[in-house]
């Protein structure tokens, strides 16, 4: 699955033209990033013309905190590839004015011509990026209150429950749906119900992932065990 995801990203970078990528964090994409780093080191691909945007971040968290998504992206990808520093756009959790950061982030996306490829993980509650159930699908980058299911899922990364952030900043559903291509990565038994909601083919505000229905270029990479037999290899 990680290798196939890397193949998809490499195909988007293959011709060397300017390409903007929205990139996820979490356990699911780590293998993909490992393959991309290895291929870049071998000279098989280049990020020299790529604009990179992370999907989300915990509010109140310094980029230097190893639990931050800023640190995650540097640790697993950015510090190991040939992307120019000025082409990396990472949300920060500790800014004085989060609303202004959101506007600046949206302006950077617009300046890049929009997102060419949005790579998304899937939350057990159906969230994509930090767009939780009930959040407006009409928003661009915004601050959001994290669902308790999301906080529970992130609990193993923190010393105790009280230290798990309760808010985040995220690229909005409107931005994600406007991406030219979307690649959704699904791994883990906890994602079964959310993936089933998407495959049911009905938009449901209780499952943000269903906002992707109707997208003109949506690809899903999922563990075979999560896919109904009728959907495999479709």
Q: What is the pLDDT of residue 76?
A: 98
In the chain the domains, ranked by start, together with CATH numbers, are 2-231 (3.40.50.1360)
C-alpha dihedral over 62, 87, 146, 223, to 10 degrees?
-120
> 106, exposed or middle or buried, with CB in 10 Å at 0-12, 13-18, 19+?
middle
Determine which helix (DSSP H) or strand (DSSP E) holds 223, and give its type and residue range.
none
Q: Which residues are catalytic?
A: 56, 125, 127, 132
The yes-or-no verdict on residue 206 having pLDDT over 60 is: yes
For residue range 104-160, list pLDDT tens digits in order.
999 999 999 999 999 999 999 999 999 999 999 999 999 999 999 999 999 999 999
The yes-or-no verdict on residue 231 having pLDDT over 70 is: no
Closest CA to 24 of 122, 159, 107: 122
Average pLDDT over residues 170-193: 96
66 contact partners, CB below 8 Å, separation of at least 6: 75
Angle (nearest 5°) at CA 29 between 26 and 31:
120
pLDDT band at 224 (very low <50, low <70, confident <90, very high): confident
Average pLDDT over residues 51-75: 97
Distance CA 90, CA 23 (A): 10
Instruction: Please identify which residue in the block is written with the tokens 């202004």.
Output: 100
């Amino acid at each position: 699955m990680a290798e196939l995801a890397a193949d998809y990203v490499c195909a988007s970078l293959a011709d060397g033209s300017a390409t903007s990528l929205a990139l996820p964090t979490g356990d699911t994409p780590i293998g993909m990033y490992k393959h991309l780093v290895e291929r870049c080191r071998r000279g098989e691909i280049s990020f020299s013309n790529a604009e990179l945007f992370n999907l989300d971040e915990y509010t109140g968290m310094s980029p230097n905190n190893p639990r931050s998504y800023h640190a995650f992206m540097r640790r697993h990808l950015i510090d190991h590839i040939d992307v120019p520093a000025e082409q990396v756009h990472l949300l920060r959790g500790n800014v004085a004015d989060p609303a202004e950061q959101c506007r600046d982030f949206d302006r950077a996306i617009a300046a890049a011509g929009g997102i060419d490829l949005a790579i998304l993980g899937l939350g057990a509650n159906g969230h994509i990026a930090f767009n939780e159930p009930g959040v407006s699908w009409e928003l661009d980058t915004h601050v959001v209150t994290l669902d308790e299911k999301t906080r529970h899922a992130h609990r193993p990364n923190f010393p105790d429950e009280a230290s798990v952030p309760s808010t985040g900043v995220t690229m909005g559903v409107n931005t994600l749906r406007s991406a030219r291509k979307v690649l959704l990565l699904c791994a883990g038994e906890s994602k079964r119900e959310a993936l089933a909601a998407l495959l049911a083919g009905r938009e449901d505000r209780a499952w943000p992932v269903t906002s992707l229905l109707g997208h003109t270029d949506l690809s899903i990479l999922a563990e075979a065990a999560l896919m109904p037999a009728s959907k495999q290899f479709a």
